[in-house]
Structure 1
Amino acid sequence: MPDDALLGSLLAAVDASPDDVPLRLHVADLLAARDRLPEALAHCTQALSRAPGDPRAVALLQRLTAAIARPVEPGFDWGRAEQELGPLEAGFAQEYRPDAVTEDVERPSLTLADVGGMEQVKQRLEMTLLGPMRNPELARAFGTSTAGGLLLYGPPGCGKTFVARAVAGELGASFYEVGISDVLDMYTGSSERNLTQVFEAARRNAPCVLFFDEVDALGQKRSHLTHSSSMRNTVNTLLAELDAGRNEGVFVLGATNHPWDVDSALRRPGRFDRMLLVLPPDAPARAAILRHHLRDRPVSGIDLDRLTRSTEHFSGADLAHLCTTAVERALADSVRLGSVRPVGMADLDAALAEVRPSTGPWFATARNVVAFANTDGSYDDLAAYLKQNRKL
């Protein structure tokens, strides 16, 4: 099979099995070998979101970011290359803009009422963010400011992006989601330019919730970067844009699975100065998620209460995977029988024996952070949760 055909088949396999981390990393390796670095970085990021701390994924991320940040080698004769290439057609020159950012701004219709459970998260959002933004006069009277950003953190797959989108709906604002692949670029200076364009797009669409997913990758600790790394310039640009006096009506939210890897300068007042812990869904949220994923499928005899009790510490992504596994089992039986056999509790019990909560490794890391790196009390909410759930 030709290489391109093989890669196409593997990409299709990833689309069919998005949670297959080894497959996704293999595809990322192949894309990197073909100098398709942004695509490779996107797959590597998805792998890390599903398997935080995976050594192979971490090593690949470091290799890709280093390759993207690597400056063009000196000595290349651009004038001669231009002469050999000849004049570019106007259409091509207009379409190819390596520093252009896709302005994918949406207007969400959902609100926090659409978020099942998670009452503590909703209350904290109301107190720290939504209340002052809805009542700026009262906020000023009490000497508080609506400036600055909010950093959502917690285990992967627990709905941080969904919550951020609901915040935009609550405010009646536009929602602009930005991932690291939207910013990082292999050309020197392009990452910083992309980041500036992101903020400019958010200002044009104000009121706007500007949401940075995996902000630890964009704003990683500069002490971990070499002085020659262009990633330092990206972090500096992010700091400058957050400090800019032109962000009126732009509400900046960030999400990370590893807040301890975020540069401390990003946590200063006026930047991501507030943190909100987003934990695995509680019982009402799990029931709502399970009901959603089983809603349009043939089911029979489902004991939702028992299923909810059996899935404590499951992330939202784990619950979706659980339902998919049970459905696949019922579908296989239906194919053999030649007729529809509804999904039952036996299918879900079998899936429960196979699918385990993915949040365990994250909490193992978090426990060490709470024990040794919580001197300023930033992770007191996390410490309280771990104290109540000692088995994690």
Structure 2
Amino acid sequence: MPVESPLIQSLRTAVAAAPDDVPLRLHLAALLLDAGHGDAAVAETAVALQHAPGDAEARQLMARAMGVGGPPEAAPAPEPPPAAPQETPPAPAPDSAPARPGFDWKAAQDQVGDVLPPRFVEAPLAVDGSGDAGDAAAWDVEKPGTVRLADVGGMQEVKERLEAAFLAPLRNPELRRVYGKSLRGGLLLYGPPGCGKTFIARAVAGELGAAFLSVSVNDVLDMWIGNSERNMHEIFRTARRQAPCVVFLDELDALGGKRSRSQSSGMRNTVNQLLTELDGVDAGANEGVFVLAATNVPWDVDIALRRPGRLDRTLLVLPPDGPAREAILRYHLRERPIENVDLGKLVKATDGLSGADLAHLCEAAAESALLDSARTGTVRLIGMKDLLAAARQVVPSTEPWFASARNVAMYANDGGMYDDLVAHLKKKRKL
């Protein structure tokens, strides 16, 4: 390979210092071409064309470089002396050479494709030209996780009800066929906020060995008419393709609120589309698709969503019990500097707190120890004094929810829909 001259090396340095200088880069490319560095000339000219696609000099230089394949053009050969006259003129060649075709830009693009990135990255358009391909891969489907119900601390009653109402029929297909048990329908988790409904849904997906597709109101609602319904359809279509898959509808009261209270026809149409998807477009369409939903206000969910065959099973998820609180406290204190923490005493002091409240308690205790260390200049560990003080300051975030739920349990328990809530309130002497 020809050695680059000092002038070419100097020009390379200048181009590196001013990469947007098109004339300078073209000058370098011309020298490289004249020196026999055809490939390097093509690469430099291609960069120049990226900055100035319509530059005539750059196009001419690229055509020249691609036409000769690297070495410089040879000087035209001298014309031969005229031949002696012949009795008969020579016959023309059977295949006369055609005129040189136009420059093949496609070939040039293919040749420099491994040198330069594409100028534009274009996503495929949908059928309606909206720019949203509507492909199933557009939705974030999590692979089967490792979280199991055993990872949920305490809450034994919740686990037993999950096993009886949802998991046992799925784990025993032979018995299901014997008893004619249908897999239609889903499970609605309800209860005060911050008590682990989403974590339980992930644990159920882990028990089933199924993919997990979490859906919130932001994933569905759209300002353009018809797009919300289409988004809902695409979500279930994705789940059917990824089956077995758990579709988790978070904040169901926002996605499937009572249509009688909605002033928006778009919102009512979205609920109608959700009902259609839960029923399945045709027989067996939702085979392998398990629907779980969560809400803090089940009394605001459209009643049609809770009829048999849809979200017909409900499960009350209450604030964590003693073993659950111990597991949550251990988790949030596992990487903090602590000393002499009596978990048994702390568990008793945090009765009624939700999982989110317990996380805030640990954060507040760490903050107290940090500020004390900053004031004294001596680093100290988090102790029971910090944790108990934080426990006294944290107000249970579940109390407002139980105040509203009490009215529902007393006056709107139609058909025994909230019997489990009534039983809990009576047990706590709140009813």
Tell me how far apart the structure 2 counterparts of residues 313 and 193 of structure 1 sit (CA, whole Å).
42
Code of the aligned partner of 1:252: V
- 8 Å contact kept, 1:149–1:253: yes
- 8 Å contact kept, 1:153–1:257: yes
1:230 paired with 2:230, answer no
Please name the residue that 1:123 is paired with.
160
The structural deviation recorded for 1:190 is 0.8
1:279-326 Cα deviation digits (max 9, x unpaired)? 000000001000110011100111111110111111100100111111
Greater mean deviation of Cα atoms: 210-219 or 139-148: 139-148
Tell me how far apart the structure 1 counterparts of residues 181 and 246 of structure 2 sit (CA, whole Å).
20
1:147 paired with 2:148, answer no
Code of the aligned partner of 1:365: S
1:221-260 Cα deviation digits (max 9, x unpaired)? 011013x521000000000000013111000000000100
1:346 paired with 2:385, answer yes
The structural deviation recorded for 1:93 is 5.8
The structural deviation recorded for 1:185 is 1.0
Tell me how far apart the structure 2 counterparts of residues 201 and 338 of structure 1 sit (CA, whole Å).
56
- 8 Å contact kept, 2:124–2:133: no
1:386 paired with 2:425, answer yes
Tell me how far apart the structure 2 counterparts of residues 90 and 243 of structure 1 sit (CA, whole Å).
42
Tell me how far apart the structure 2 counterparts of residues 160 and 254 of structure 1 sit (CA, whole Å).
9
Q: Give the alignment partner of residue 238 of structure 2, picking from 198, 201, 216.
A: 201
The structural deviation recorded for 1:338 is 3.8
Tell me how far apart the structure 2 counterparts of residues 222 and 287 of structure 1 sit (CA, whole Å).
42
Please name the residue that 1:74 is paired with.
none
- 8 Å contact kept, 1:136–1:146: no
Code of the aligned partner of 1:165: R
1:376 paired with 2:415, answer yes
Please name the residue that 2:347 is paired with.
308
Tell me how far apart the structure 2 counterparts of residues 338 and 205 of structure 1 sit (CA, whole Å).
56
The structural deviation recorded for 1:211 is 0.4
Code of the aligned partner of 2:267: M
Tell me how far apart the structure 1 counterparts of residues 328 and 131 of structure 2 sit (CA, whole Å).
41
1:251 paired with 2:290, answer yes
Tell me how far apart the structure 2 counterparts of residues 103 and 332 of structure 1 sit (CA, whole Å).
44
Please name the residue that 1:318 is paired with.
357
Please name the residue that 2:403 is paired with.
364
Structure whose CA Rg is larger: 2
Change (3 A) 1:204 1:93: closer
The two structures have a TM-score, normalised by structure 1, of 0.74
Please name the residue that 2:275 is paired with.
239
1:111 paired with 2:148, answer yes
Tell me how far apart the structure 2 counterparts of residues 98 and 363 of structure 1 sit (CA, whole Å).
43
The structural deviation recorded for 1:346 is 1.0
Code of the aligned partner of 1:335: A
Tell me how far apart the structure 2 counterparts of residues 342 and 98 of structure 1 sit (CA, whole Å).
53
Code of the aligned partner of 1:347: D
Q: How well do the aligned residues superpose, as a CA RMSD in angstroms?
A: 1.8
Tell me how far apart the structure 2 counterparts of residues 391 and 232 of structure 1 sit (CA, whole Å).
36
The structural deviation recorded for 1:91 is 3.7
1:191 paired with 2:264, answer no
Q: Give the alignment partner of residue 327 of structure 1, picking from 360, 366, 369.
A: 366
Please name the residue that 1:12 is paired with.
none
**Unmatched runs of 5 consecutive residues or more in structure 2:** 1-118
Change (3 A) 1:337 1:177: same
Please name the residue that 1:28 is paired with.
none
Tell me how far apart the structure 1 counterparts of residues 344 and 131 of structure 2 sit (CA, whole Å).
53
- 8 Å contact kept, 1:99–1:194: no
Tell me how far apart the structure 2 counterparts of residues 98 and 323 of structure 1 sit (CA, whole Å).
44
The structural deviation recorded for 1:353 is 2.3
Please name the residue that 1:264 is paired with.
303
The structural deviation recorded for 1:335 is 2.6
Please name the residue that 1:161 is paired with.
198
Please name the residue that 1:79 is paired with.
none
Tell me how far apart the structure 1 counterparts of residues 174 and 165 of structure 2 sit (CA, whole Å).
15
Please name the residue that 1:355 is paired with.
394
The structural deviation recorded for 1:391 is 4.6
Greater mean deviation of Cα atoms: 305-314 or 232-241: 305-314
- 8 Å contact kept, 2:349–2:388: no
What secondary structure sits across from 1:105 in the alignment?
Answer: coil
1:25-174 paired onto structure 2 within 5 Å = 91=121, 94=124, 97=131, 100=134, 102-106=138-142, 107-174=144-211
Please name the residue that 2:33 is paired with.
none
1:166-199 Cα deviation digits (max 9, x unpaired)? 0011111111111111111111111111111110
Code of the aligned partner of 1:182: D
- 8 Å contact kept, 1:176–1:209: yes
Structure with more helix by fraction = 1
Tell me how far apart the structure 2 counterparts of residues 136 and 363 of structure 1 sit (CA, whole Å).
39
Code of the aligned partner of 1:151: L
What secondary structure sits across from 1:175 in the alignment?
Answer: strand
The two structures have a TM-score, normalised by structure 2, of 0.68
- 8 Å contact kept, 1:211–1:252: yes
Tell me how far apart the structure 1 counterparts of residues 195 and 368 of structure 2 sit (CA, whole Å).
25
- 8 Å contact kept, 1:124–1:276: yes
Tell me how far apart the structure 2 counterparts of residues 92 and 338 of structure 1 sit (CA, whole Å).
57
